Chains A and B, each alone.
Chain A
């Protein structure tokens, strides 16, 4: 059981690493990097016991909370553009498409949101930097 959990955790980390590799997706860590800048080696070592766990926690929060929250806007905008923004064709056709579009909205939103949270879709689409 523990081995499976380990593999799952490892896979989760490995895949989340894709978006995590982009510094723009690490707002908490970036903020801490800006705030804490020890120059001397002794200061770096002395602050280590505090900032190693703090850094890991920030990274985990960046992966699991901050970046997914950042991605909400992109996912909703993308869903809107893909399904609702363009009104082509006659009114009757639009009316017929309303229900399928409504049904597809949460699906498209979830796929885009998860994709951007994990794989950093915006960078792959060239929509960076933020």
Chain B
């Protein structure tokens, strides 16, 4: 048992050793290519000569060739770690000079020995290397490769080839939803046109985990774009998202549509999401405020009213829905739905009577009774809110079950669940 453990430990350690990677053994590769014949008999006959020669070449690689080849890289690492400008003035740089000079041999030695002994992964891998790894048949290797990346891992010229490699991996392993989702999450920023098109295609299916992740990834692109992207790119992304929202609504993919609205509601405190959130509000107003998205629409308006005056001015254009701009309304609807579902009946009649009573009292109030008037108005607003909630609950309970679920539940979960067989 102990021996097995020892062997396993050694195997694990050696798996990351530099000499286990053939790229690090140029002399041995040369010998294998030029000394070993293809004919099996000749290979066996020459084995007594070729095996020791190849072994010696391998040892030469491990002891001399590979260490010499990493001298430059070790210096580059040391330079990046110690000698990058501090960004302060000349005298500060002068003061740092002795510290840097004294640490240089130590850091270089550590970098050199680690690079000589261990096969370090270059981060991020070159797009070509990324492609090989992402297309690997070994799922674990694919997952590790993608999980080590971030959306900002690639920059400049590397963005397009890295994106292409990732999209190809998604197409090849389309059945592996978990892997594809991780790839989509890490598609380099800014999204290339091909990536955006691919994500839109997935989003338009209107169901499933990948649809949800694609919508999320497209939405992220609308928020805080990378510095390299100009204002035009941001506007293009927001317009693309708005179009997608509209199309999903028209196609009847309400889960996906409400999920976009939910994302916009969550980020409606961020300036870059305002345009999309305002567009969604206008779109909902144009469609007569469909009940299934009312819980999210309410949240968007709450956030927008708090953050931008444009929403207040816009409200005049579509419809003033002051009653629904308070958290109590949403809670009241949920409570009314639960009560009506439990068969306890609607409070509509009682609330209408109460409303009429208060309205009559308000009309009768004498001049100078400011405090009483205010109290009555407050109660009236409260009663009107409850009445609106009762009516909303009734409509939702009479309508399709999916609409009720969308109102009550999380659009993210519903969208993911919809795709499951």
Instruction: Give chain A residues whose Cβ lies under 8 Å from the Cβ of B91.
Output: 29, 32-33, 36, 51, 54-55, 58
New A-B pairs, 9, CB < 8 Å, besides A55-B91, A58-B91: A30-B89, A33-B92, A36-B91, A52-B95, A55-B94, A55-B96, A56-B98, A58-B95, A59-B95
* In the bound complex, CA of A55 to CA of B88 (Å): 12
CB distance from B104 to the nearest CB of A (A): 15
A127 at the interface (CB under 8 A from B): no
Instruction: Give chain B residues whose Cβ lies under 8 Å from the Cβ of A38.
Output: 90
Instruction: Give chain B residues whose Cβ lies under 8 Å from the Cβ of A47.
Output: 90
B144 at the interface (CB under 8 A from A): no
* In the bound complex, CA of A85 to CA of B98 (Å): 46
* In the bound complex, CA of A68 to CA of B96 (Å): 21
CB distance from A105 to the nearest CB of B (A): 36
Q: Which residue on chain B has the smallest CB distance to residue A28?
A: B91
CB-based closest 4 A-B pairs: A33-B89, A55-B95, A55-B94, A32-B91
Instruction: Give chain B residues whose Cβ lies under 8 Å from the Cβ of A106.
Output: none
CB distance from A41 to the nearest CB of B (A): 11
* In the bound complex, CA of A52 to CA of B102 (Å): 14
Instruction: Give chain A residues whose Cβ lies under 8 Å from the Cβ of B88.
Output: 23, 29, 33
User: How many residues of chain B are within 8 Å of chain A by beta carbon?
Assistant: 11
CB distance from B324 to the nearest CB of A (A): 39
Q: A33-65 vs B: 1/0 string, CB under 8 Å?
A: 110111000001001100110111011000000
Q: Dominant SS at the B interface?
A: helix
Q: Are A37 and B89 in contact (CB under 8 A)?
A: yes
* In the bound complex, CA of A41 to CA of B96 (Å): 17
**Among residues 68 to 110 in chain B, which have CB atoms less than 8 Å away from a CB atom of chain A?**
88-98
A67 at the interface (CB under 8 A from B): no
Instruction: Give chain A residues whose Cβ lies under 8 Å from the Cβ of B96.
Output: 55
Q: Are A51 and B90 in contact (CB under 8 A)?
A: yes
Instruction: Give chain A residues whose Cβ lies under 8 Å from the Cβ of B97.
Output: 48, 52, 55
Q: Which residue on chain B has the smallest CB distance to residue A32?
A: B91
Q: Dominant SS at the A interface?
A: helix
Q: Which residue on chain A has the smallest CB distance to residue B87?
A: A23
CB distance from A67 to the nearest CB of B (A): 14
Instruction: Give chain A residues whose Cβ lies under 8 Å from the Cβ of B93.
Output: 55
Q: Are B98 and A52 in contact (CB under 8 A)?
A: yes
* In the bound complex, CA of A48 to CA of B94 (Å): 7
* In the bound complex, CA of A30 to CA of B92 (Å): 8
10 chain-A/chain-B pairs, Cβ below 8 angstroms: A33-B88, A33-B89, A34-B89, A36-B90, A36-B91, A55-B93, A56-B95, A58-B91, A58-B95, A59-B95
* In the bound complex, CA of A55 to CA of B91 (Å): 5
CB distance from B107 to the nearest CB of A (A): 15
Of residues A33, A36, A47, which shows the largest number of chain B Cβ atoms within 10 Å of its Cβ? A33
* In the bound complex, CA of A30 to CA of B240 (Å): 49
Q: Which residue on chain A has the smallest CB distance to residue B95?
A: A55
Q: Which residue on chain B has the smallest CB distance to residue A62?
A: B95
Instruction: Give chain B residues whose Cβ lies under 8 Å from the Cβ of A30.
Output: 89
CB distance from B95 to the nearest CB of A (A): 3
Q: Which residue on chain A has the smallest CB distance to residue B96?
A: A55
Partner of B94, one of A23, A26, A37, A52: A52
* In the bound complex, CA of A27 to CA of B98 (Å): 20
Of residues A47, A55, A58, which shows the largest number of chain B Cβ atoms within 10 Å of its Cβ? A55
Instruction: Give chain B residues whose Cβ lies under 8 Å from the Cβ of A58.
Output: 91, 95
* In the bound complex, CA of A32 to CA of B89 (Å): 8
Instruction: Give chain A residues whose Cβ lies under 8 Å from the Cβ of B98.
Output: 52, 56
* In the bound complex, CA of A44 to CA of B93 (Å): 10
Of residues B92, B96, B97, B98, which shows the largest number of chain A Cβ atoms within 10 Å of its Cβ? B92
Instruction: Give chain B residues whose Cβ lies under 8 Å from the Cβ of A34.
Output: 89
Instruction: Give chain B residues whose Cβ lies under 8 Å from the Cβ of A59.
Output: 95
Q: Which residue on chain A has the smallest CB distance to residue B98?
A: A56
Of residues A26, A36, A38, A59, which shows the largest number of chain B Cβ atoms within 10 Å of its Cβ? A59
Q: Are A29 and B90 in contact (CB under 8 A)?
A: no
Instruction: Give chain A residues whose Cβ lies under 8 Å from the Cβ of B94.
Output: 48, 51-52, 54-56
CB distance from B251 to the nearest CB of A (A): 50
CB distance from A2 to the nearest CB of B (A): 16
Instruction: Give chain B residues whose Cβ lies under 8 Å from the Cβ of A33.
Output: 88-92
CB distance from B83 to the nearest CB of A (A): 14
CB distance from A118 to the nearest CB of B (A): 18
Instruction: Give chain A residues whose Cβ lies under 8 Å from the Cβ of B92.
Output: 26, 29, 33, 55
Q: Which residue on chain B has the smallest CB distance to residue A39?
A: B90
CB distance from B192 to the nearest CB of A (A): 39
* In the bound complex, CA of A33 to CA of B85 (Å): 14
CB distance from A61 to the nearest CB of B (A): 11
* In the bound complex, CA of A94 to CA of B95 (Å): 51
Of residues B90, B92, B93, B98, which shows the largest number of chain A Cβ atoms within 10 Å of its Cβ? B90
Of residues B91, B92, B93, which shows the largest number of chain A Cβ atoms within 10 Å of its Cβ? B91
